Amino acid sequence: MSFRKSLDNQVAEALNEQIKIEASAAFLYFSLASWANVRGLTGMASWFRGEAHGELTHMNLFVDYLNDRDYQAKFGTIEAPTCEWDSPIAAFDMVRTQEHVLLQRMSDLIDLADKHKDHLTHSFLTQFVPQQIADTAEADDVHDRLMLVGGDGHGLILIDQELGREAETEA
Ligand SMILES: [Fe+2]
Ligand SMILES: [Fe+2]
């Protein structure tokens, strides 16, 4: 019996869809990194770049899982990400929205796995949850701190440096 038969088609398609979602998230972060870089926000740019690589790592894990379950991953078209933001606050508003959507998506995927009594997929998905909660909280946090300093001037430079240091330690 092929392993594949045990992976429900609806579950497989939802996991395959996640490949595109993680890749799109990566593209948005790459776009943000470039936007920040040409504005002198080099710390923020490194941080965004690090997040982009994180999303690509997630994407790879989904591809590997599908392959391990004997399902060939399919790659669809990725839409161009936004490339203009009015301010760092606006940029982080989009980041936190994306992270909240990704957190909800993880929860929905686990629901779907449970509906199909797919314990293996449930177990695979739970590895993403703590990190996704932390990423969501951090995006909210940076946004809030940018709001506190009014999103520019000396406060912005301090936050930029802090994000740059964080990106360095995580690299
Ligand atoms: Fe992700
Ligand atoms: Fe993320």
Q: What digits encode the pLDDT tens for the residues 4-54?
A: 567 999 999 999 999 999 999 999 999 999 999 999 999 999 999 999 999
Name the closest ligand to CA 24: 1
Alpha carbon of 136 to ligand 2 centroid (Å): 7
pLDDT at site 170: 82
Q: Are 70 and 54 in contact (CB under 8 A)?
A: no
Residues 6 or more apart whose Cβ sits within 8 Å of residue 13: none
pLDDT at site 3: 57
Q: Are 52 and 30 in contact (CB under 8 A)?
A: yes
Q: Are 103 and 166 in contact (CB under 8 A)?
A: no
pLDDT at site 40: 96
Alpha carbon of 117 to ligand 1 centroid (Å): 24
Give the domain ranges of the chain: 3-170
pLDDT at site 5: 60
Alpha carbon of 91 to ligand 2 centroid (Å): 14
Alpha carbon of 1 to ligand 1 centroid (Å): 33
| Verdict on whether the full-model pTM lies above 0.85 | yes
> Smallest Cα–Cα separation from 31: which of 101, 79, 89?
79
Length of the chain equals 171
Mean pLDDT of successive 10-residue stretches along the chain, which has 171 residues: 73 98 98 98 98 98 96 95 97 98 98 97 97 97 96 94 94 73
The residue to which tokens 């946004």 are assigned: 143
Q: Residue 3 has what DSSP assignment?
A: G
CATH superfamily of 3-170: Ferritin, core subunit, four-helix bundle (1.20.1260.10)
Alpha carbon of 23 to ligand 1 centroid (Å): 8
Q: Are 59 and 22 in contact (CB under 8 A)?
A: yes
pLDDT at site 151: 85
Structure token pair of residue 81: 């990400």
If one counts every other C-beta atom within 10 angstroms of the C-beta of residue 42, the result is: 17
pLDDT at site 4: 54
